[in-house]
């Protein structure tokens, strides 16, 4: 299938924000350079008015071109860089050299173009919060697992079981592949549009998604947690902190702490008595 390539000149600090917004609008792959972002979308999904509305929020211009079918995985791989969260956790592809003693935990993922490098800030902050949580013997639910990284790390940290869902078939297949690559025997991933059909209770819920989905399913995430269970949210822009906090408190959570990288937050809450 042919794709539309949208080239946008923009400052570095806007890249993660724009990638998140375009990913929600069905863009399937991204290339990043120092001063530009190229976003790819199938021709039949391209909505120019919707694109203009997103870019108008940041006063950005663009150029577009139609391109023939492309080896998207090769494009993705050429832009994938390992992620290091302090000396705690490293995330790399199978074509990168092992990190050895640099990190306590190393996760190897098979790159797929659906999961661009722009979301590293959200993954980074979630992992930083996970570092100081006891996962030993705990049950974990990973809402919007993507490549499966949070669930895989939860098992590495001692979780008894880690279940993950995602609404994207490609994401689920990729996560299952990554679970096998990392030898994770206590992680189960399946496709689901929401956590509404999932039964708990869990000790810990992880959700690295976006503001609208977090708000929509805050009640379900509380339902899935036992009292004193922990909720770790990521994919939150700094300006959205108040609305996320208000929604969490209204649904039976108390705020504990947060981590920030660039314009992105991860937030930790505790489930109170119903």
**What is the tens place of the pLDDT at every residue in 214-260?**
999 999 999 999 999 999 999 898 989 999 999 999 999 999 999 99
Whole-number Cα distances in Å, 21 to 17, 28, 88, 225: 6, 12, 29, 29
The answer to whether 223 and 196 have CB atoms below 8 angstroms apart is no
For residue range 78-137, what is the model confidence (pLDDT) as tens digits? 667 788 899 999 998 888 899 999 999 999 987 665 444 445 778 889 999 999 999 999
The answer to whether 90 and 81 have CB atoms below 8 angstroms apart is no
Token representation of residue 269: 């809450």
For residue range 3-17, what is the model confidence (pLDDT) as tens digits? 899 999 998 778 878
Exposure of 263 by Cβ count < 10 A (0-12 exposed, 13-18 middle, 19+ buried)?
Answer: middle
Which pTM does this prediction carry?
0.78
Which string of DSSP letters, residue by residue, matches 6-60? Answer: EEEE--GGGHHHHHHHHHTTT--EEEE-SSEEEEEEEGGG--HHHHHHHHHTTT-
Q: Cα(169)–Cα(108) distance, rounded to whole angstroms?
A: 20
In DSSP terms, 268 is beta-bridged to 232, 257
Backbone angles phi, psi at 240, to 5 degrees: -95, 0
DSSP letter for 97, please. P
As its CATH architecture, domain 3-70 has: 2-Layer Sandwich (3.30)
Q: What local confidence, expressed as pLDDT, does residue 264 receive? A: 86
- pLDDT above 90 covers a percentage of the chain that reads 60
Whole-number Cα distances in Å, 169 to 115, 232, 242: 12, 24, 32
**In the chain, which residues fall in CATH 3.40.50.150?**
132-271
Confidence of residue 32 (pLDDT cuts 50, 70, 90): confident
Residue 99, Cα to own-chain centre: how many angstroms?
Answer: 22
**In the chain, which residues fall in CATH 3.30.70.980?**
3-70
The answer to whether 67 and 2 have CB atoms below 8 angstroms apart is yes
Whole-number Cα distances in Å, 113 to 17, 33, 46, 215: 18, 16, 18, 27
Contacts of 12 (CB under 8 A, 6+ apart): 34
| Beta strands across the sheet bearing 62-67 | 29-32, 36-42, 3-9, 62-67
Q: Cα(185)–Cα(191) distance, rounded to whole angstroms?
A: 18
As its CATH architecture, domain 132-271 has: 3-Layer(aba) Sandwich (3.40)
């Amino acid at each position: 299938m042919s794709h539309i390539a949208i080239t946008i000149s923009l400052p570095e600090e806007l890249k993660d924000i724009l990638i998140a917004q375009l990913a929600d609008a069905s863009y399937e792959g991204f290339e990043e350079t120092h001063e530009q972002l190229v976003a790819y979308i199938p021709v039949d999904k391209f909505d120019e008015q919707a694109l203009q509305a997103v870019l108008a929020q940041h006063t950005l211009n663009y150029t577009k071109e139609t391109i023939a079918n492309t080896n998207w995985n090769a494009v993705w791989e050429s832009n994938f860089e390992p992620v290091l969260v302090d000396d705690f956790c490293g995330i790399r592809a199978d074509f990168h050299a092992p990190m050895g003693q640099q990190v306590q935990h190393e996760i190897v993922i098979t790159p797929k173009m659906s999961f661009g490098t722009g979301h590293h800030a959200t993954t980074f902050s979630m992992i930083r919060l996970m570092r100081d949580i006891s996962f030993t013997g705990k049950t974990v639910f990973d809402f919007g697992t993507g490549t499966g990284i949070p669930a895989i790390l939860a098992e590495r940290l001692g979780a008894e079981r880690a279940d993950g869902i995602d609404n994207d078939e490609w994401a689920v297949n990729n996560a299952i592949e990554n679970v096998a690559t990392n030898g994770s025997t206590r992680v189960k991933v399946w496709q689901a549009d929401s956590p509404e059909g999932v039964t708990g209770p869990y000790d810990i819920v992880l959700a690295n998604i976006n503001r609208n989905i977090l708000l929509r399913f805050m009640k379900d995430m509380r339902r899935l947690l036992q009292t004193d269970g922990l909720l770790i949210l990521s994919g939150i822009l700094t300006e959205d902190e108040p609305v996320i906090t208000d929604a969490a408190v209204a649904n039976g959570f108390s705020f504990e702490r947060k981590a920030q990288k660039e314009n992105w937050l991860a937030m930790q809450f505790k489930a109170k008595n119903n």
